[in-house]
A and B are shown apart, each in its own frame.
Chain A
Amino acid sequence: MRTTITGLAIAASILGTLATVGPAAADTANIWVRADGSNFMPRVVDAFNKGHQNQIKLDIIPNAEIIPKYGAAAAGGTAPDALSLDLIYTPSFAAAGQLEDITDWAKSLPYFASLSPAHVKTGTYKGRIYGLPFSADSSVLIWNKKLFKQAGLDPEKGPTNWAEIEADAEKVNALGGDIKGFYFSGNCGGCNIFTFTPLIWASGGDILTEDGSKATLDTPQMRGAIDLYRSMVKKDLVPSGAQTDTGSNFFAAFATGNIGISPSGAFAIGALNTQYPDIDYGITFLPGKDGGWSSFAGGDNFVVTKGTTKVAVVKEFLDFAYSLEGQTILAKYGSLPVRGDIAKDALKDLDPRYQTAAEAMAKGRTPYSVVFNDLINSANGPWNQMMNEVFFGEDVDGAIANAQETMQSIIDSAPQK
C-alpha cells in the first residue's frame, strides 16, 4: 500500500512537471544588434515578446566591436542565433560559411519582391540568400533653411546639381563669423562611401564593377566630384576640422546650426527632430553633376547563424518585423521601412521629410564586395586615404592611381572560395 502511494505521488509529480513543461517549451532566441540600432531594436523586440510565446533575448554591442566579438563567439560556439548585421558585411560572412542559407524561406514570403533590393543584393552570395533587410538608412543632402534665408536664398529649395551646391554654400559662407557653407567628414571612409559615392553614381560613374571584382576609381565622374569638394575646400567654405574628422562630427557639425549644406543620412531627421528641434532644415537627394540623383542604401541585414536550433523563432521574429506594426515601430524610432509596398503606410504619421529619404532608399545602391571593410571602411584603407589626399592634398593623380592599385590588389588577394 505504502509503495503504491509513493508511486502515485511520483507519477503525480511527473505529470505536474510535464504540465508545466508545456507552456515553458516556448523557445528563446538570442539576437545581437550593433549600437546604431539601439533606438529601434529594443522596441521591436519588446513588441514581439509581448505578443508571442517564443521570446527574443536582445544584446546590443558597440559598433566597432560587433564583428570581432561575433567572430570570437562563433569560434567558441556561443554565437547568437541571429544578428542584425551592417549589410556590407553580409557577403564576407556568407563567404566564410558562417551563415544559414535562408533562400527557400525568403522566396516564400509573399512580399519578397518588395523588400529593399540593395539589401537583398548584398544578402545574396553565389545565388543563395543569406541575409534579408532589417533596418535601412539612405543618404541625402540636408540644408539649413534659416541660413539660406539669411543668405538671400530660397529656403524651400535645396540644391539640385553640383554647381548649385557650390554656389549656395558660397552664399551661406559669406555670412561670415562661425558660419560655414559646407561640411563633410574628410577622414572617414564609411562617411564618404555613404555620401560621396552617390554624387558619382548620380552622374553615371561607379567605383567598383557590379560583382566587385574590379576597382574603377579613375573616371571623369570621380574627378568631377573631387573637383567640387576641392574647390569648396580651397574657397574655405569647409571648416578646417573637416580634414581630420574621423566621423565623430559627421552629424554634430550640422547640428550646431552653423553649416549651410551637408550630405547626411535619413537618421539625421530623427536625430535633429528629437535633439535639435530648433534647427529648421530641408532634405533633398544627393544630386549628380547636371541633375539626377542617387543614394547609398545602408542599414542592417538580418542573418542567421549557421547551425542554430532556433531558426523557427528567428523566422517568427522577422515575420513580425516585416508586418505593418513592426515596420511602423522601426520607422518611428529611426530606421526607414524595408518593405517598399507598405513604406508609405508605415511612414504616414511621421515627418513628411521621411518620404524623401524612403524614396532615396528604394533606389539606393550598395557596392558589393567580400572585402568591403578592407577597401572602404578601414580608417587606414585605400579608399579613406585617397579621399583625404584628393580633397586636401596636392597630388590628385597620384592619390587616385595609388588607391586604384591598392584596392585592386586587395580584391585580387581576397580568399576565393
Chain B
Amino acid sequence: MLDALLMSARFAEDPTPGLRPDPPLKGEGDVALTEDHGMTTITAISAPARAYKLVGAGRRQWIGLLYVAPAVALVVVFFIVPLCMTAWMSLHNWPLMGAHSFIGLDNYWAILRDTRFWNALKFTGYYTVVVTIAIFAVAFPLALFIERPRQLTGFYRTSFFMPAVIGFASASLLWSWLLNVDSGLFSPAAFELGLTEKKFNLLATFQPAFWSIIAMVVWKVAGFTMIILMTGLQSIPPDLQEAAMIDGAGPFARFRAITLPLMRRTLALALILSVAGSILAFDQFYIILRGGPRNQTLTAVYWIFNQSFVSFKLGYGAALSMVLLVILVALSLIQLRLLRNPEGVD
C-alpha cells in the first residue's frame, strides 16, 4: 500500500513523462535526454520509447491499485460494508423478527434518554481507567525485569506471556470456577486455611466482584502489554543510558528523562490497545458476573448485546454501537495527539 502511494506521489510531482512529446527516435537506450531531465529520467530512457509511453502515470497507478486490491477488498467487505449497514440499521425500528420501518434519528433521541446506557458507559469508563492503570502498574515492572538477559529470562518471559494466548471467554470460564464460593479455589482455600470464618462469596457484592475481574484481566493481559513495552525498552540505545550515567544521573532520573520520553510511541501503542480493549469489555462480565451483582457491572457492549439479543431491538443496538464507535475513535485520536509530539521531543 505504502509503496503504491509513494509511486503515485512521485509521478504526481513530475507531470511531464506522459505529456511530453515523444523524443526523436534515435534508437534504444538513448542517453541524450539526460542533459535535459537529469537523473530521474535515466531509467525511463533506458527503456524503448513506446514502452516508456505505455508505462505512464495512469497505468502505474492501476498496477499499484491492483497490488493493494486484496487488502482493500478485505477492509471493504469486513469493515466498510458492515459499518454502513450498521449505520443504515440504526435509522430503523428493526426488530429481530418481522418488518422494519424507517424512523430517522429516533433511535438516537432515545439514546439520550436511556439512563441505563449512560450508567453502563460510566461504569465502562471507570473500569477502563482502573484496569489500564492496573495493567501498566504490573506490566511495566515486568518489562523492566525481563528486558535484560539474565538467568531464566526465557522462562520468565514465557510464563508471564502465557495467559495472553488464552481466549477471553476461556479465561473467564476458568476464573468463574476459581471464584466459585462452593466448589472454586479462592474462597474454599481461604476457609480451609482459617483465614475466613466462613466461605466468602467473592461475587456477591460489588467491590470484591469488581476487583476479582480486575485481577483476572490483569493476569490475562499484562503479559501482552509487557512484551510491547519490552520492545520499546530494547529500542533505546544503551549509549544514551551510559552517557546519562556518566553525567551522574540516578536510576530514577534516567527512567524519567530517558526511558519514558524515548518510549512515548510504544506507550501510545500499549495505551491505545489497552483502552480500546477495555472500552469494548464484555466476555468477562457476561460469563463471570452476568452483569451482577444487581446489574452494577453492565458495560456498554453488554448493554448493546442486551438491547439487540434480549430485547430484540437490532436497530437500537446498531445506534448504540455507532455512538460507542464515535466515542472510541474520539478517545483514540485524543490519545494519539497527546502522545505524538509533546514539548518538542522528536
A binds B: yes
**Which of A240, A249, A374 is in CB contact (< 8 Å) with B311?**
A374
- Residues on A with C-beta less than 8 A from B183 are 241
Q: Flag if B201 contacts A187 (CB, 8 Å).
A: no
B312 within 8 A of A: yes
Which residue of A72, A241, A244, A389 has the most chain B CB atoms within 10 A of its CB atom?
A: A244
Q: A379 and B292: CB pair below 8 A?
A: yes
B183's nearest neighbour on chain A, judged by CB, is A241
- Known A-B contacts A240-B198, A244-B204, A378-B310; the reply to A98 vs B181 at CB < 8 A is no
Structural contact, A380 and B290, CB atoms closer than 8 A: yes
Compute how far the CA of A356 lies from the CA of B181 in the bound complex, rounded to whole angstroms: 34
Q: CB-CB contacts of B286-321 with A at 8 A, as 1s and 0s?
A: 000011111100100010001001111000000000
Q: Does A373 contact B (CB under 8 A)?
A: yes
Interface membership of chain A positions 350-378, coded 1 if the CB is closer than 8 angstroms to chain B and 0 otherwise: 00000000000000000000010110011
Cα–Cα, bound, A415→B97 (Å): 12
B17 interfacial by beta-carbon distance below 8 Å: no
Q: Give A93 to B198 CA distance when docked, in angstroms.
A: 47
Interface of chain A, main secondary structure: helix
B97 touches A96 (CB 8 A): yes
Contacts of A239 in B (CB 8 A): 181-182
- Does A96 contact B98, Cβ atoms closer than 8 Å? yes
CB distance A187 to B290 under 8 Å?
A: yes
CA–CA, A393 to B296, complex, Å?
14
Select the residue from A70, A92, A98, A241 with max chain B CB neighbours within 10 A.
A241
State whether B292 touches A244 (Cβ < 8 A).
Answer: yes
A389 and B294 within 8 A (CB): yes
Residue of B nearest to A93 (CB): B97
Taking the nearest CB of chain B, how far is it from the CB of A373, in angstroms? 6
Does A244 lie within 8 Å of B181, measured CB to CB?
A: yes
Give the CA-CA distance A373 to B306 in the complex, in Å.
Answer: 10
**Is there a chain A Cβ closer than 8 Å to B99's Cβ?**
yes
In the complex, A389 Cα to B96 Cα: how many Å? 31
Say yes or no for B180: interface residue by CB 8 A criterion: yes
A178 to chain B, nearest CB (A): 9
Nearest to A371 among chain B residues (CB) is B311
The interface residues of chain B lying within 8 Å CB-to-CB of A388 are: 292-294
**A262 CB → nearest B CB, Å:** 14
Cβ contact within 8 Å between A97 and B201: no
* Cα of A147 to Cα of B99 in the assembled complex, Å: 56
Cβ-defined partner of A67 (8 Å) among B96, B99, B200, B295 = B96
Residues of A contacting B96 in the complex (Cβ-Cβ under 8 angstroms) = 67-68, 71-72, 96
Check if A246 is an interface residue, CB within 8 A of chain B.
yes
Tell me if A74 counts as interface (CB < 8 A to partner B): yes
Q: Chain A 180-220 against B: per-residue CB contact (8 Å), 1 yes, 0 no?
A: 00000001000000000000000000000000000000000
B95 at interface by CB-CB < 8 Å = yes
Minimum distance in angstroms from B2 CB to a CB of chain A: 39
| Contacting residues of chain A (373-395) with chain B, CB-CB under 8 angstroms | 373-374, 377-381, 385, 388-389, 392-393
Please give, as numbers and ranges, the residues of chain B lying within 8 Å of A308 by CB-CB distance. Answer: none
Range of interface residues on chain A? Answer: 20 to 34
Q: Which A residues lie within 8 Å of B157 (CB)?
A: none
With both chains docked as a complex, state the minimum distance between the C-beta of A379 and any C-beta of chain B, in angstroms: 4
B182 engages A241 (CB within 8 Å): yes
Tell me the complex Cα distance, A379–B297, Å. Answer: 12
Residues of B within 8 A of A244 (CB): 181, 201, 203-204, 292-293
Contacts of A389 on B, CB cut-off 8 Å? 294
* Contact A385/B295 with A241-B180, A246-B290, A378-B306 known, Cβ cut-off 8 Å: yes
Contact size class for B? 20 to 34
Bound complex: CA A92 to CA B313 (Å): 13
Query: Considering only CB atoms, which chain B residue lies closest to A99 in the complex?
Result: B97
Chain A positions 85 through 97: 1 when the CB is less than 8 Å from some CB of chain B, otherwise 0? 0000000110011
A344 and B302 alpha carbons, distance in the complex (Å): 46
User: With A240-B182, A241-B182 in contact, do A379 and B97 touch (Cβ < 8 Å)?
Assistant: no
A388 CA / B290 CA spacing, docked (Å) = 13
Q: Does A30 contact B (CB under 8 A)?
A: no
The reply to whether A373 and B311 form a contact with Cβ atoms under 8 Å apart is yes
Docked-complex contact A415 and B95, CB < 8 angstroms = yes
- Closest chain-B Cβ to A122's Cβ sits at a distance in Å of 17
A28 lies within 8 A of chain B by Cβ: no
Name which residue of chain A comes closest to B303, CB basis.
A380
| B 75-105 binary contact with A (CB < 8 Å = 1; else 0) | 0000000000000000000011111000000
Which of A71, A240, A379, A380 lies in contact with B312, CB distance below 8 A?
A71
A241 to B294, CA, bound (A): 15
Nearest to A244 among chain B residues (CB) is B203
Q: Specify which of A72, A378, A379 lies most central, judged by the most chain B CB atoms within 10 Å of its CB.
A: A379
What separation, in Å, do the CA atoms of A92 and B80 have in the docked complex?
A: 33
Check A241 against B290 for contact (C-beta < 8 Å). no
Does B264 belong to the interface (CB within 8 Å)?
A: no
| Min C-beta distance of B321 to chain A, whole Å | 16
CA distance A93 to B290 in the complex (A): 25
B98 to chain A, nearest CB (A): 4
Across the two chains, which residue of chain B brings its CB closest to A243? B204
**CA distance in complex: A330, B200 (Å):** 43
Q: Please, how many angstroms separate the alpha-carbon atoms of A75 and B315 in the complex?
A: 14
In the complex, chain B residues whose CB is within 8 Å of the CB of A96:
95-98
Q: Report the bound CA distance from A379 to B287 in whole Å.
A: 11
- Nearest CB in chain A: distance from B191 CB, A: 10
Q: Is A374 touching B95 in the complex (CB atoms < 8 A)?
A: no
For residue B41, give the distance in angstroms from its CB to the closest CB of chain A. Answer: 57
Contact in complex: B201, A243 (CB < 8 Å): yes
B residues less than 8 Å from A392 (CB atoms): 204
The answer to the question of B265 belonging to the interface, with a C-beta cut-off of 8 Å to chain A, is no
B310 touches A374 (CB 8 A): yes
Shortest distance from the beta carbon of B320 to any chain A beta carbon, whole Å: 15
Chain B residues within an 8 Å CB radius of A240: 181-182, 198-201, 204
Q: Give complex CA distance A339, B203 in Å.
A: 44
A393 to B206, CA, bound (A): 12
| Beta-carbon nearest neighbor of B202 in chain A | A244
User: A240-B199, A378-B306, A378-B310 known; A71 and B290 CB under 8 Å?
Assistant: no
CB distance from B308 to the nearest CB of A (A): 8
Residues on B with beta carbons closer than 8 Å to the beta carbon of A187:
290, 292-293
Q: How far is the CA of A381 from the CA of B180 in the complex (A)?
A: 23
- Shortest CB-to-CB span from A102 to chain B, Å, is 18
Q: Mark A223-246, 1 if CB is under 8 A from B, else 0.
A: 000000000000000011101101
Q: Is the Cβ of B181 less than 8 Å from the Cβ of A241?
A: yes
Question: Beyond the given A68-B309, A241-B201, could you list 8 further A-B residue pairs with CB under 8 A, ordered by the A residue number?
Answer: A96-B96, A98-B98, A241-B181, A371-B311, A380-B295, A380-B298, A385-B295, A415-B95
**11 pairs from A and B in contact (CB 8 Å cutoff):** A71-B97, A75-B97, A187-B293, A241-B183, A244-B181, A244-B204, A377-B310, A380-B295, A385-B295, A393-B294, A415-B95
Closest 7 CB pairs of A and B: A71-B96, A96-B98, A241-B182, A96-B97, A379-B290, A244-B203, A98-B97
